[in-house]
Structure 1
């Protein structure tokens, strides 16, 4: 059984490790923060380096998700990428549709990276921290631990849009 490492890292460092901001952007934001005492997430959003929902997701939900030890995560990767404002419903549905049609059988995160919607390092960060048991699985094959069909995934995502 793989256990998750607890995290209590600061928001800026988490966003840097997820490759959502660069080291220089973080340094600049931290410099501004030392002068203004504004929250780092607000500075990064104001400068246009991350979306508000991305900063809010990592500030309010990330530590709880990563430190979850009692029960397994029940949502697929796409749910968390959407909640973080990194993918939208249209992008997720495009990937699922391509999987349904047999055009592509690449895992959702890898497909989003191939399309240029996310950096592969960002996808890897999410998988490593939220699904460590799948971190070594190939992004180009069906996940061994996931027996959901593409139709089931599509139904789930459509139900979340209501």
Structure 2
């Protein structure tokens, strides 16, 4: 999604740029003489980590085909390269693992810097993925700053929430949208929609008002709320979106914004909404 930073889509994790995560997948349905191995999700925070079967390892992998000290992971930081994670087979002092390490299907022969999304196999059957948060491009950061102003303008967040998100974004190095998501102040679906709003073209559905489909796609109303509003429109002979405002499902400011974005919408039917008092 547009607001996330180079993480595997199955990993629900947010951290400052440079931080990394190792996801080790479980081993199940093993022979009866072996115990299944649980999966692990581990933030990589130490400067040096021993990985292997031994209980003294910083990251223990309980599999018979993993050596006692299978690998060593080092975390370094420099002004030019930022935070890097280097993996070497064995203890880093000449003793290597029995069954090897494979990164993206290729056996590891010497120390290698890991890249976001690398698939790592430990020994014969333990699989994992490496995830590192990347510094977002300046244009993405700028998009999120505009996003915050827009969310406040159309009354989806409060002024206090906007100020808090802006401050935390600067302090933590996270995107503004990520801060809002952490506090459940806005839906990911809404952020995605608004960041891509210039590219969103909803297909016309017979019997369904276009603006309703856009609001639903943005996660601002549900299918049930739309259907109820259309039923009220028939009974009250009022523009269906006005009933959404009257019921407090969306604000006049939110509706006006959506109506103003799409030239193909029937503005005449929305005239009563466009004249609603925002105070």
TM-score, with length taken from structure 2: 0.40
Flag the structure with more relative contact order, 1 or 2, with Cα contacts below 8 A and sequence separation at least 6: 1
Q: 2:260 corresponds to which residue? A: 128
SS at match of 1:87: coil
Whose Rg is larger?
2
Paired with 1:63 and 1:16, the residues of 2 have a C-alpha distance of 19
Greater per-residue strand proportion: 2
Paired with 1:98 and 1:51, the residues of 2 have a C-alpha distance of 27
User: Offset of 1:94 from its aligned partner?
Assistant: 0.6
User: Offset of 1:137 from its aligned partner?
Assistant: 4.6
SS at match of 2:198: helix
Deviates more, 1:129-138 or 1:20-29: 129-138
Is 1:39 aligned with 2:172? Answer: no
Q: Of residues 215, 234, 248 in structure 2, which corresponds to 1:81?
A: 215
Q: 1:104 corresponds to which residue? A: 236
Kept after mapping to 2: 8 A contact 1:53/1:85: yes
User: Offset of 1:38 from its aligned partner?
Assistant: 1.2
Paired with 2:222 and 2:172, the residues of 1 have a C-alpha distance of 33
Greater per-residue helix proportion: 1
Deviates more, 1:81-90 or 1:119-128: 119-128
Is 1:138 aligned with 2:274? Answer: no
Task: Note closer, same or farther for the CA distance 1:51–1:129 as it changes in structure 2 (3 Å cut).
Answer: same
Paired with 2:211 and 2:270, the residues of 1 have a C-alpha distance of 14
Could you tell me which runs of 5 or more consecutive residues in structure 1 were left unpaired when the two chains were aligned.
1-7, 141-162
TM-score, with length taken from structure 1: 0.66
Paired with 1:136 and 1:82, the residues of 2 have a C-alpha distance of 19
Task: Note closer, same or farther for the CA distance 1:104–1:138 as it changes in structure 2 (3 Å cut).
Answer: same
Is 1:63 aligned with 2:198? Answer: yes
Residues 96-151 of structure 1 show CA distances to partners (whole Å, capped at 9, x for unaligned) of: 1223xx312222221101011111111011112224872895237xxxxxxxxxxx
Paired with 2:254 and 2:222, the residues of 1 have a C-alpha distance of 16
Q: How many pairs align? A: 124
- RMSD of aligned C-alpha atoms? 2.5
Paired with 2:240 and 2:211, the residues of 1 have a C-alpha distance of 8
Kept after mapping to 1: 8 A contact 2:193/2:218: yes
Could you tell me which runs of 5 or more consecutive residues in structure 2 were left unpaired when the two chains were aligned.
1-142, 205-209, 274-279
Kept after mapping to 2: 8 A contact 1:128/1:135: no
Kept after mapping to 1: 8 A contact 2:229/2:241: no
Q: Of residues 143, 147, 163 in structure 2, which corresponds to 1:11?
A: 147
